[in-house]
Amino acid sequence: MKLELGKIQINDVQKASESKVEANTLYINEEDIKKIVLEDEHIVNVSIEIAKPGDSTRITPVKDIIEPRYKVDSNSNVFPGVISKVDRVGEGRTHALKGCAVATVGKIVGFQEGIVDMQGPGAELTPFSQTINICLVVEPVEGIKAHTYEQAVREAGLKVALFLGKLGENVEPDEVETYETKPLLEQIAEYPDLPKVGYVYMLQTQGLLHDTYVYGTDAKHIVPSILYPTEVMDGAILSGNCVSACDKNTTYHHLNNPVIQDLYDRHGKDINFVGVIITNEAVYLNDKKRSSDWTSKLCKYLGLDGAIVTQEGFGNPDTDLIMNTKKIEAEGVKTVIVTDEYAGRDGASQSLADADPAADAVVTGGNANEVIVLPKLDNLIGTYDYVDTIAGGFDGSLRENGEIEVEIQAITGATNELGFNKQSARGV
């Protein structure tokens, strides 16, 4: 598959009487957005607020973050199986509005939702302090069930992101990048002397409110499968989970997966990037065994020399991570795992819930139990009602003076296990 990604840089977002993209500015008519969101009977009200880098603004609780994208030359479109038809994506031309994002905010869905600060020490830990965030502050109907509310909020964010992406349909991109992965035998023949590298992409599927969607299918119900990397860029994988904010893969993370980007950057130079294997993070042991067996089998089937394995979440998924790694290594395929740590506030505890000598090449996104004090900021988008109860918070996290003391797991993207963050560690 070959995908052209047209990148339209958005330098400012303003509310206006007409929704459009002009001179690298995104103009938004609030009524256009409200009409889209309020189509869902489970949502009674929505307000649209804009947070810009450097603002004295805090956004919480953040549910999902999505980059606006739109396919410009196809009957299919991004976010297939959820917002768009269940058509194959990953080829043709897609336009992306870079530098901005849609964030869904409001009454909490699950306790594992997060904080985004646009300035201060918290801003240094989240990539979303650097995007202009179009925040949808959503109010659900009374008595709504958590899972129904999660779906309504998730779909609202995707619909708005698709609407905004379409505004760039006829805009000339500032940059166009081309990504291509050929059918396997062609791909191998093109670079026969380079090591064949694949990407094992673990998806969060631990249970209720821990969902990831693949072409609209809950990934709890899949067996490990092969995707073209470009399919991911078109929204074939979408977030629907409430895993701790620090290592949650939002939809924005999936669309901009840095592992895929880096492997493409090195493709044809020192590696041959042959594709993506998606697998789930099951709850029950037999399901973990099945998925890890299939994952290692596919690595061997593709003839890989090496594989990068990324995780989402912690604790229970650590077992999936190690089972995958151990079995892939047993097939003669070298692995590097990307994870984060829950090593206690002093960093002295065991970092992962599972381990094996085969998992001896590790990239870490940092220790999620590290404590930070976030200063009082002038503006709030959302509500402070849940700061003490979100993952990483505790009774008394919200201080009377407006400061917040939390573990960094409360900060969206702080220890992201795709490496989409600024923290890591080095063995000594």
Q: Chain-centre distance of CA 392, in angstroms?
A: 19
pLDDT band at 428 (very low <50, low <70, confident <90, very high): low
Tokens, residue 42: 């489970």
What pLDDT, on a 0 to 100 scale, did the predictor assign at position 427? 63
Establish if 420 belongs to a structural domain.
no
**Does residue 426 sit within a domain?**
no
Has residue 423 been placed in a domain? no
Q: How far apart are CA 34 and CA 224, in angstroms?
A: 38
pLDDT surpasses 90 at 110: no
Question: Strands, E, within 242-370: which ranges?
Answer: 272-281, 306-310, 334-341, 362-367
Task: Note whether residue 285 is domain-resident.
Answer: yes
Residue 309 DSSP SS3: strand
Instruction: Please give the mean pLDDT across all residues of the chain.
Output: 94
Is 100 a catalytic site residue?
Answer: no
Q: Note whether 94 and 130 are within 8 A (CB).
A: no
- For residue 262, the surrounding DSSP H or E stretch is helix 258-266
Structure tokens at 395: 């009774």
Between 57 and 210, the more confident residue is 57
Range of the structural domain that residue 215 is part of: 2-410
Sign for the pseudo-dihedral over CA of 413, 414, 415, 421: positive
Average pLDDT, integer, range 3-29: 98
| Active-site entry in 100, 135, 242, 299 | 242
- The C-alpha atoms of residue 322 and residue 398 are separated, in whole angstroms, by 37
Q: Report pLDDT digits (tens) over 366-409.
A: 999 999 999 999 999 999 999 999 999 999 999 999 999 999 99
Mapped onto helix, strand or coil, the DSSP state of residue 154 is: helix
Residue 176 has pLDDT above 60, yes or no: yes
In a domain, 261, yes or no: yes
Amino acid identity, residue 161? A
How many Å apart are CA 116 and CA 66, to the nearest integer?
Answer: 14
Q: What is the pLDDT of residue 425?
A: 66
Q: Is 141 exposed, middle or buried (0-12, 13-18, 19+ CB in 10 A)?
A: middle
The arrangement of strands across the sheet holding 225-227 comes to 225-227, 272-281, 196-204, 306-310, 334-341, 362-367
The reported pTM is: 0.96
Q: Return the C-alpha torsion angle 146, 147, 153, 154, nearest 10.
A: 150
* pLDDT per residue as tens digits for the range 318-358: 999 999 999 999 999 999 999 999 999 988 888 888 999 99
Number of domains in the chain: 1
Query: CA-to-CA distance for 348 and 366, rounded, in angstroms?
Result: 13
Tell whether 44 is covered by a domain.
yes
> Residue 233: inside a domain, yes or no?
yes
Whole-number pLDDT of residue 353: 87
User: pLDDT for 124-146, tens place per residue?
Assistant: 999 999 999 999 999 999 999 98
pLDDT at 374: 97
Lowest mean pLDDT among 101-105, 224-228, 384-388: 384-388
**What confidence category does residue 423 fall into, taking pLDDT thresholds of 50, 70 and 90?**
confident
275-317 confidence digits (pLDDT tens): 999 999 999 999 999 999 999 999 999 999 999 999 999 888 9
Is residue 421 in some structural domain? no
